[in-house]
Structure 1
Amino acid sequence: MITIVVAMGKNREIGVDNQLLWHLPKDLKHFKELTSGHPIIMGRKTYESIGKPLPNRTNIVISRKNDWFEEGILIVGSIKEALKFAKKIDENVFVIGGGTIYEQTIDLADQLEITLVDATLDADTYFPKIDEKIWQKIQETCHEKDEKNQYDFCFQTFTKKTSV
């Protein structure tokens, strides 16, 4: 199963200048619970924004740079290659960004795990439009902002609709 994990604002915004737009500890905890113990696939810029391999996960980074190397991660040249390696490790694979990687994998994904943040912020990176003819929301849990989480947000799970 291929699952895309993303936090996005009301206009599908996900980042600016290779950084997240918000700090939501509940979302980070949710992300860790979803992805721990599984392979995660990301683009090089997303990896660089994180700055280190995420623990208890196989970190697979897609890069077109041939001379790039980082200790503790697997570097591949394409989505196809990333999925091939990930599926050898675990049947549950998580795609964690960024925008270009999401665009290239949304049609391959089986599930979307979205944190919808109740905010509209300036961004230069966006999540692809979720086609309601293809995707169906099956679960939603909402949280109000508090002293640690600066915005209201909802965890949403989408699965592909089965054709009738």
Structure 2
Amino acid sequence: MTLTLIAAIAENNALGKDNKMMWHLPDDFKHFKTRTSGHYIIMGRKTFESFPSALPNRTSVIITRQEDYKAPEGCIVVGSLDEAIKVSPKDEEVFVIGGGEIYNQSIDHADKLDLTRVHATFEDADAYFPAIDPTKWEVSSENFHPKDEKHKYDMTFQVYTKR
């Protein structure tokens, strides 16, 4: 299995506030959909509940401490990151999609980071992506996307691989 953390993060590693993203970047959403469609996606309960419904064409693995948590049909509910990894296919790329606590638990297990770096700083965020240790990770590809009429901020799509 290739375990990939996928996230859009600000310059200060901000992810969001009040269980919502702090920006609207349609091309980042397209990137996320393209990369994760057809795959297992691992997330915390609060991240799952931030979506209007289970994301289509993906298998949602939801981590929660709630023993009687009721998820929609087709979703898998587990109690820990280790369980989430165990129920995921061993011969595929599996994506961790948030939130901050789940990223913190999973970064040391990850093989790859697929990040959209939003070129702005958000001081009032309440969820952050973990610090990326440059002795463990290196950028293997980058693609800059300038701001435009649909995108308020410049962003760079970055893939990090383990050193």
Instruction: Give the structure-1-normalised TM-score.
Output: 0.95
* Paired letter, 1:131: D
Deviation string for 1:16-70 (max 9, x for gaps)? 0111111100000000110000000000000011131100000110000112102
- Structure 1 counterpart SS, 2:82: helix
Q: Residue 79 of structure 1 aligns with which residue?
A: 81
Instruction: Give the structure-2-normalised TM-score.
Output: 0.95
- Superposition map of 1:63-102 within 5 A: 63-72=64-73, 73-87=75-89, 91-102=92-103
- Structure 1 counterpart SS, 2:65: coil
Deviation string for 1:114-137 (max 9, x for gaps)? 000011112011000000000010
Measure the CA separation in 1 of the matches of 2:4 and 2:58: 14
* Paired letter, 1:124: D
Q: Residue 110 of structure 1 aligns with which residue?
A: 111
Measure the CA separation in 1 of the matches of 2:127 and 2:29: 19
- Superposition map of 1:1-164 within 5 A: 1-72=2-73, 73-87=75-89, 91-121=92-122, 122-161=124-163
Identity percentage of aligned residues:
53
- Structure 2 counterpart SS, 1:83: helix
Measure the CA separation in 2 of the matches of 1:84 and 1:132: 28
Unaligned runs of 5+ in 1: none
Deviation string for 1:78-117 (max 9, x for gaps)? 10111111125x5210000000000000000000000000
Measure the CA separation in 2 of the matches of 1:104 and 1:51: 25
Aligned residue pairs: how many?
Answer: 160
* Paired letter, 1:98: G
Measure the CA separation in 1 of the matches of 2:6 and 2:45: 16
Cα RMSD after superposing both structures: 0.9
Measure the CA separation in 2 of the matches of 1:34 and 1:111: 13
Runs of 4+ in 1 over 4 A off after TM superposition: none
Unaligned runs of 5+ in 2: none
* Paired letter, 1:95: V
- Structure 1 counterpart SS, 2:54: coil
